[in-house]
Amino acid sequence: MPELIRPAASPSAGTRPRLPRPVIALGLVSLFNDTAGDMINPLLPMFVASVGGGPEVLGLIEGVADAVASLLQLASGYLADRIGRLKALTAVGYSIAALARPLLALAAAPWQILMARFGDRLGKGIRGAPRDRLIADITPGELRGRAFGYHRAMDNAGALLGPVAVYAMLALGMRTRSIFAWSAAPGLLSLMILSKGVREVTHSAASSKIEIGIPDAPGFRRLLAAIFVFTLGSSSDSFLLWRAREAGIASVYAPLLWLVLALVKVASSTPGGELSDRWGRRNTIISGWLLYSAVYVGFAFASSTWQIWLLFAIYGLFAGLTEGAERALVIDLVPEEWRGRALGVYQATVGIGLLPASLVFGTIYQHMGATPAFTLGAMLALAAVFMLPRAHGSERKANS
């Protein structure tokens, strides 16, 4: 029988609270799943080019795969609230991604790359909301920012290990397609950890009477609007690698650029989430979005390789400040029974915004150049800052 989730008791005064063990296990699952994913990401722009694609094709592949798959976040969020089988839904999503990624080894045309990437993102769409609801339900309110930050740190640690593995494989003379095939190994390891380290759970809100829609909670709709505007200027990170190649950084160093980005994300994600517990979600997110805007301006006008390396490092700090805080703010703003659906709507909003973001960015980049493309992203990030809801909603619920 599924176990009913009961949040851990608040720690006694003077002791440093620990994250629940299932949260630690879910972090390890993300670590190895993203190791598999980031054995692919640094090589994807060059692989697309090798089969005849350009920036527009790359934007189409990344945008369509992310946007269409993200629509499943709505369904998975509904099911997370409706049936409460959080581990089962999470496992289905990780399994689909683990099977789809190695198929890139067989791709010989852009449309085949699109299909494999769609399978990868399809898995993400299924697992995201139930996994995040699981983390929220088993973590005390005062630790949620830290828990989501830790999970993002482990997720980003995979983005560190993946490029290291790719760089070593390239140094040994392994071909790109063989590397894609080997991405199956860490993906399968993540499924083993999920199977052994996390028990099936349900929650007290699981019910047959679950509404479909967006929760009418103060600040939540405004948060979605701000997230959507920000996402419109947040195209695929693959374009950063494309920009690096234009600036004179050889393709063999692309995994190392990804490694620098991942190192900063890993180092900053847990402190960034914990900062949102102490300083407030809104303040932390605004700091990250302002930093993003400045970094995109830097990419727009960078003219030497050392600037690209520095910008990649600073860009990682933006992710550390915002990725955990945004998820925690979603939880803060909605009633408990809406958590799965709210997280699904949040993820879907990001995914839907990524389609026009990557398509428009890629089109502007190809026909007008890097400067106007990155400048547009910076301007949209600034606009989103002024749309964030006031802090009272998150402060009211942060310690519930």
Record the pTM. Answer: 0.72
Lowest mean pLDDT among 4-8, 208-212, 338-342: 4-8
pLDDT band, residue 381 (cuts 50/70/90): very high
pLDDT digits (tens, 9 = 90+) for 54-79: 777 777 777 677 666 777 878 888 88
CA distance linking residue 65 with residue 114, whole number of Å: 7
Q: Does 46 map to a domain?
A: yes
pLDDT digits (tens, 9 = 90+) for 269-317: 888 888 888 888 889 999 999 999 999 999 988 888 888 889 998 998 9
Q: Does 7 map to a domain?
A: no
- The residue segments making up the domain with residue 40 are 21-202+216-397
Provide the 10 A C-beta neighbour count for residue 50: 11
CA distance linking residue 58 with residue 122, whole number of Å: 18
- The b-or-e profile of 361-386 (16+ CB within 10 A means b, else e) is bbebbeeeebeebbbbbbebbbebbe
Q: Domain total for the chain? A: 1
Q: Per the structure block, which two tokens stand in for 183?
A: 């991405």
Residue 376 belongs to domain with CATH number:
1.20.1250.20
311 sits in which H/E element: helix 305-333
Q: Does 276 map to a domain?
A: yes
The predicted model gives 189-209 an average pLDDT of 75
Q: Does 79 map to a domain?
A: yes
Q: Does 239 map to a domain?
A: yes
